[in-house]
Structure 1
Amino acid sequence: MDILWFLTRRVLQALAVILIVTVVVFCLLHALPGGPARGILGPQATAQQIAAFNHEQGLDRSLPVQYVYYLGTLLQGDLGTSYALNEGVAQLIGQRLPKTLVLTVLSALVGLLLAIPLGMWQAVRRNKPVDYVVTGLSFVAYSTPVYFLGLVLVLVFTQVLRWFPSQAPQGDSLAQVFADPAALVLPVVSGAASMIAVFSRYMRSATLENLAEDYVRTARAGGSRRGAILRRHVFRNSLTPVVAMLGYYVPVLFGGALVVEQLFNYPGMGLLFWSAAQSSDYPVLLGCVLVISVATVVGTLLADVVQRVIDPRVKAGRA
Structure 2
Amino acid sequence: MIRFLGRRVLQAIVVLFIVTIIVFVLIHLLPGGPARAELGVQATPTAVESFNKQHGFDKSLPQQYLTWLGELFRGDLGYSYKENSTVLDLLKDRLPKTALLAGVSVAIAVLIAIPLGTLQAVRRNRLTDYLATAVTFVLYSTPSFWLSLILVLFFSVKLGFLPAQAPQGSIAAVLAQPSGLVLPIATIALISVALYSRYMRSSTIDNLTQDYVRTARAKGASTARVLFGHVLRNAISPILTLLGLSLPFILSGTLITERVFNFPGMGLLFYNAAVTQDYPVLLAVTLVVAIATVLGSVLADIGYALLDPRIRHAHG
Structure 1 partner of 2:278:
281
**CA deviation vs aligned residue, 1:66-122 (integer Å, no higher than 9, x gap):** 555422311333222222223222222111111111101110111011111111111
Q: How does 1:1-319 map to 2 (within 5 A)?
A: 3-28=1-26, 31=29, 33=31, 46=42, 49=43, 51=45, 54-58=48-52, 64=61, 67-172=65-170, 174-217=171-214, 220=217, 225-314=222-311, 315-316=314-315
Gap change, CA 1:66 and 1:156, over 3 Å in 2: farther
1:132 deviates by 2.4
What is the alpha-carbon distance in structure 1 between the residues aligned to residue 14 and residue 308 of structure 2? 26
Amino acid at match of 1:183: G
What is the alpha-carbon distance in structure 2 between the residues aligned to residue 157 and residue 56 of structure 1? 54
Deviates more, 1:33-42 or 1:224-233: 33-42
**CA deviation vs aligned residue, 1:203-258 (integer Å, no higher than 9, x gap):** 11222223334454455556655345434443333223323432222222222212
Amino acid at match of 1:164: L
Assess if the C-alpha contact under 8 Å between 1:39 and 1:279 holds in 2.
no
What is the alpha-carbon distance in structure 2 between the residues aligned to residue 41 and residue 76 of structure 1? 22
Deviant stretches of 4+, over 6 Å: 34-42
TM-score of the pair, normalised by structure 1: 0.84
Amino acid at match of 1:116: I
CA RMSD of aligned residues (A): 3.0
Assess if the C-alpha contact under 8 Å between 2:31 and 2:37 holds in 1.
no
Deviates more, 1:22-31 or 1:195-204: 22-31
Assess if the C-alpha contact under 8 Å between 1:21 and 1:293 holds in 2.
yes
What is the alpha-carbon distance in structure 2 between the residues aligned to residue 63 and residue 261 of structure 1? 40
Amino acid at match of 1:16: V
TM-score of the pair, normalised by structure 2: 0.84
SS class of match (2:79): coil
**CA deviation vs aligned residue, 1:259-284 (integer Å, no higher than 9, x gap):** 21121111112212222222222222
SS class of match (2:85): coil
Deviates more, 1:283-292 or 1:32-41: 32-41
What is the alpha-carbon distance in structure 2 between the residues aligned to residue 189 and residue 62 of structure 1? 50
What is the alpha-carbon distance in structure 2 between the residues aligned to residue 139 and residue 35 of structure 1? 46
What is the alpha-carbon distance in structure 1 between the residues aligned to residue 35 and residue 161 of structure 2? 44
What is the alpha-carbon distance in structure 1 between the residues aligned to residue 35 and residue 276 of structure 2? 9
What is the alpha-carbon distance in structure 2 between the residues aligned to residue 165 and residue 35 of structure 1? 43
What is the alpha-carbon distance in structure 1 between the residues aligned to residue 44 and residue 143 of structure 2? 38
Assess if the C-alpha contact under 8 Å between 1:108 and 1:195 holds in 2.
yes
Identity %: 48
Assess if the C-alpha contact under 8 Å between 2:234 and 2:307 holds in 1.
no
Deviates more, 1:102-111 or 1:75-84: 75-84
The unaligned stretches of length 5 or more in structure 2 are none
SS class of match (2:80): coil
What is the alpha-carbon distance in structure 2 between the residues aligned to residue 294 and residue 51 of structure 1? 35
Gap change, CA 1:221 and 1:5, over 3 Å in 2: closer
Assess if the C-alpha contact under 8 Å between 1:26 and 1:286 holds in 2.
no
Deviates more, 1:177-186 or 1:251-260: 251-260
Gap change, CA 1:36 and 1:263, over 3 Å in 2: farther
Assess if the C-alpha contact under 8 Å between 1:38 and 1:50 holds in 2.
no
Gap change, CA 1:134 and 1:78, over 3 Å in 2: same
